[in-house]
Amino acid sequence: MFKPKFSITSTMAKALMETEACRQAVTQLPLTVPMLDSLRRTARLLSTHFSTQIEGNKLSPSQVENVLEGGGRFPGRERDEAEVKHYYKALEFVMEQSQKKEATTEKVIRTIHGFVLSGRETATAYRDGQNVIRDGRTGAVVYLPPEAKDVSALMKDLMTWINAEVERNEWPVPVIAGIGHYQFATIHPYYDGNGRTARLLTNLILHRGGYGLHGIYSLEEYYAQHLQGYYDALAISPSHNYYEGRAEADMSPFLTYFTLGMADSFAKIRSRAEEAQSKGTPDQKVLLRELTAQQRKVLALFTRMKRAASSDIARFFGISARSASALCLQWVGVGFLTIADHAKKTRRYQLAAQYDQLCGGSI
């Protein structure tokens, strides 16, 4: 059974308190759809850029944005383009999963990895052979993960521990997330994509544990900007062999790094949100609470286009045209949408007046 070794240091305790203070402050600040849409969009682009950059992706932030939102192509960078598209899809899948009140299963993690590698919702199998992590410059062995025959049991133990600890609520959620990240990297269950999947697992744990902060922060930015510290914190065992010390290593150094990163990331978001408040942004939390999760999500679409056809909504949610049409009619029935154009072939919808105001502000 997985039993992590760690202790809460004074540095970690201070970082956890700062993170909690920022989390509470942001939840009390005015909340508008345009503000959230803009911050969430920026955070996802940054997360995609920095998480793939850590793995060697050469696309700049503006190029990543161009690929994901503008359909840009960069000759000679096809692999990098595919990598950011796949990671972005994986990130969207994590956000969808975080809304479900369910335990985090191995299948979910394997599906996240499937998105990372192929961009498809496919649960990938764990590696069937030995993986060796080498220094990219010298070729020296940096880490020898556990043998393939042990991976399945180790992953099962990890997921059992994560779900049990979230349920027990004895340790702060960021501590559980940090341990999850470290142990996933320790098991290294795949030949490729382990780092990206570990970072996405971290996000899933944080979101499900109440530290999602509306999806407007990017821990990946902190990792990339303090990359050597990230590698040093992960490599805490005196031996490069899993069976010769790594399995029993004290995780406190990595948790210190991780909690400092959370405090830094949350402080940046608090600063941006407080700047929005200083501009007199109206509070929209009460009206937003009346909406379903699906309705709150589609507000982002209507922030960008005042009128939308059912086909636009189908693309936005990734559902069939028939399902989108039925959804639109349902929302008209409950007063969420109104019909802006009654023509059958070109029928378009817009938000009802009281909800349209949610999309009228700016940061």
d(CA 279, CA 3): 48
Are 22 and 55 within one domain? yes
Whether pLDDT at 305 is above 70:
yes
Are 330 and 236 within one domain? no
Whether pLDDT at 3 is above 80:
yes
Tokens standing for 349? 């919808």
Higher pLDDT, 124 or 39: 124
**What are the φ and ψ backbone dihedral angles of 119, each rounded to 5 degrees?**
75, 10
Are 268 and 309 within one domain? no
Lowest mean pLDDT among 145-149, 211-215, 269-273: 269-273
| Cα→Cα distances 44→15, 220, 315, Å | 24, 10, 19
Which DSSP symbol is given to 105?
Answer: P
d(CA 140, CA 56): 18
The amino acid that residue 46 corresponds to is: L
Once rounded to an integer, what is the mean pLDDT over residues 43-69?
92
The range of the structural domain enclosing residue 145 comes to: 10-278
Domain count, the chain: 2
Are 182 and 322 within one domain? no
Residue 243, number of CB atoms within 10 A of its CB: 12
Are 111 and 50 within one domain? yes
Residue 213 lies in a domain: yes
Please check whether residue 89 is in contact with residue 52, taking contact to mean a CB–CB distance below 8 angstroms. no
| Cα→Cα distances 165→71, 116, 179, 337, Å | 42, 26, 11, 42
Are 54 and 175 within one domain? yes
pLDDT of residue 101: 78
Residue 242, number of CB atoms within 10 A of its CB: 20
3-class SS shares of the chain: helix, strand, coil, % to 5: 65, 5, 30
pLDDT of residue 327: 92
d(CA 104, CA 335): 35
Higher pLDDT, 30 or 164: 164
Instruction: State the pTM of this model.
Output: 0.80
d(CA 267, CA 262): 8
Quote the crossing angle between the two packed helices 173-187 and 252-278, to the nearest 10°.
Answer: 130
d(CA 256, CA 250): 11
pLDDT of residue 361: 44
Whether pLDDT at 360 is above 70:
no
E strands, 50-188, are 133-134, 141-143
Whether pLDDT at 79 is above 80:
yes
Give the CATH number of the domain where residue 243 resides.
Answer: 1.10.3290.10
Whether pLDDT at 362 is above 50:
no
pLDDT of residue 88: 95
- Greatest mean pLDDT among 36-40, 138-142, 165-169 lies in 165-169
- Going by C-alpha positions, the residue among 361, 360, 310 that lies closest to residue 337 is 310
Whether pLDDT at 29 is above 60:
yes
Strands 141-143, 133-134: pairing kind: antiparallel
pLDDT of residue 126: 97
Whether pLDDT at 219 is above 80:
yes
Please check whether residue 251 is in contact with residue 179, taking contact to mean a CB–CB distance below 8 angstroms. yes
Are 114 and 137 within one domain? yes
When pLDDT is cut at 50, 70 and 90, the band that residue 285 belongs to is low
pLDDT per position as a tens digit, 87-132: 999 999 998 898 887 889 999 999 999 999 999 999 999 999 999 8
Lowest mean pLDDT among 9-13, 22-26, 32-36, 179-183: 32-36
End-to-end alpha carbon distance in the chain: 48
Give the CATH number of the domain where residue 325 resides.
Answer: 1.10.10.10
pLDDT per position as a tens digit, 222-233: 999 999 899 888
E strands, the chain, are 133-134, 141-143, 308-309, 337-341, 348-351
| Cα→Cα distances 238→137, 143, 152, 235, Å | 21, 11, 25, 8
Token pair 């803009």 is found at 38
pLDDT per position as a tens digit, 309-334: 999 998 888 888 899 999 999 999 98
Lowest mean pLDDT among 8-12, 34-38, 121-125, 302-306: 34-38
Please check whether residue 35 is in contact with residue 274, taking contact to mean a CB–CB distance below 8 angstroms. no
Are 28 and 103 within one domain? yes
Q: What is the mean pLDDT of the chain?
A: 87
pLDDT of residue 363: 30
d(CA 154, CA 304): 45
Cα four-point dihedral sign 173, 176, 178, 184? negative
Q: Which of 278, 313, 348 is where one domain is finished?
A: 278
Are 156 and 259 within one domain? yes
d(CA 188, CA 144): 9
Q: Which of 254, 278, 302 is where one domain is finished?
A: 278
Are 335 and 215 within one domain? no
